[in-house]
Amino acid sequence: MLNLSNQRVDAAVWDEELSRSQKELLDPKGGRRIGRVMTVVGGVFLIILFLPWRQTIEGTGTLTTLSPQDRPQTVQNAIAGRIEHWAVREGQLVAKGDTILTISEIKDEYFDPNLPQRLREQLAAKQGNVAANAAKISATDQQLAALRTTLEVQLSAARNRVTQARNTVSIDSADLVAVNNAFQIARARLARYEEGYKNGLFSLTDIESRRLKLQEDLAKVTAQRNKLLNSRQSLANASIELANLRAKYEQDIAKTQSDRSSAVSSLSSSEGEVASLRNKISNVEVRRGMYVVRAPQAGYVVRTLKAGIGETIKEGESIATLQPDAPVLAAELYVRAMDVPLIQRGRTVRLQFDGWPAVQFSGWPSVAVGTFGGTVTVIDVVSTTNGKYRLLVRPKLDRANNDGAWPAQLRLGSGVYGWVILDSVPVWYEIWRQLNGFPPSLQAAPQEAPIKNKAEDKKS
């Protein structure tokens, strides 16, 4: 070495420090102590490797509710209007039916303050029209009954006249046969008298008498034949009158039925207008009740989506967000698809909520601090967009493990981290599984817990 320093180290001091360092390095007891420590550590490590380890499936998510009615909802107005008054402020607790907002009408057809009275007057007029049409229908029914009665009487009389004319024709036909027979007899007698006159048996006076008698009988035949023709004509006229009478009354009846159909149509139209007016009156009354927007259920007004006075809102537009009071909370956890077959309803879950300090030993849940117990209630049958499956975890009260109710300060949407507790395995197996990336193992195939009915679910 170069002697660059002005200070010199005494050789005696150097020798003394060198001998002291060699003594410490070459102490044989230090090596034995290190060996014993390593032996103890190795033994403890071997013991730890054979300790039981509870396998878990990790999942993250947020707080939600089991019932859809407990989740945040928007309050909407049913009709369009203009904001007149706000009855609540953000963060206020409202009961079911409390007034949230008051609006006024913006449609001109509902501006009239006496609109229900006007509609009732129109309804009374239409009801009078209905009564008039009903009276007209009754009158036409009576007219139809009278026409049918008169028709039967007239038809009966006409049929009697036809029968009389038919009888007259029969009588005249018989009389014609009789006078024709008398004429034939008279002609035969005249022929015999003329033959006897040639033989000198009868006189000319007798011949002339017989000829006169023959002319009289011929005149009777001609008169009877004309009478028969007249009788037949009367029969034809009676038949024509019967048909004409039937046609005339059928025309009158058809006209009356047409008037009745018109009255029935007018009655139906009036009844339809009456129903429409009643519906409109009911709609107006219901609409006026919608000028006040009320809370659909008890809860907190989280945020108002409209502001100011005089602002116009549309039909079905959201005006405020309402968080129902005292919701039944549940943890919404998302797990990998490869872990879902190992989970079934009823599995125990340890939960760590955002804002609550906790120390969690996933393999030894009994020594965890600051976590809360839960039970798997719902397992989705389809995955989400990111390929994970959703679990719904309800609170689990376990006095044996000092598991109490979830904190009352929890809010919907808060973050939560959970561990689904599976079966126990040795620590060495869990290390080997984690190093190889294998999924957790079960002693037997998982079986679904029986689904509770509604009554049991409420009790739980």
- The whole-number average pLDDT for the span 77-84 is 90
User: Taking Cα atoms as reference points, which of 175, 187, 180, 194 lies closest to residue 214?
Assistant: 187
Question: Residue 451: what pLDDT?
Answer: 46
Distances (CA, A) of 171 to 115, 176, 228, 238, 240: 83, 9, 9, 17, 21
pLDDT on residue 145: 86
What does the pLDDT look like over 215-264, one tens digit per residue? Answer: 887 888 888 888 888 888 888 888 888 888 888 888 888 888 888 888 88
pLDDT exceeds 80 at position 277: yes
pLDDT higher than 70, residue 407: yes
Task: Sort strands 312-313 and 99-104 into parallel, antiparallel or unpaired.
Answer: unpaired
Contact (CB, 8 A) for 238 and 200: no
Distance CA 108, CA 103 (A): 15
- Minimal CA–CA distance to 324: which of 154, 70, 136? 70
388 pLDDT tier (thresholds 50, 70, 90): very high
pLDDT, mean of residues 291-306 = 91
Bridge partners for 304 per DSSP:
320
Mean pLDDT over 383-388 rounds to 87
Least confident interval from 34-38, 240-244, 454-458: 454-458
How far is 4 from 7, CA to CA, in rounded Å? 9
pLDDT at 455: 45
Q: Collapsing DSSP states into helix, strand and coil, what is residue 214?
A: helix
For residue range 94-122, what is the model confidence (pLDDT) as tens digits? Answer: 999 999 999 999 888 888 888 888 888 88
Check whether 1 has a pLDDT greater than 50: no
Please, are residues 356 and 346 in contact by the beta-carbon 8 Å criterion? no
| pLDDT bracket for residue 446 (50, 70, 90) | low
Under DSSP, the state recorded for 405 is P
Which DSSP letter does residue 106 get?
Answer: -
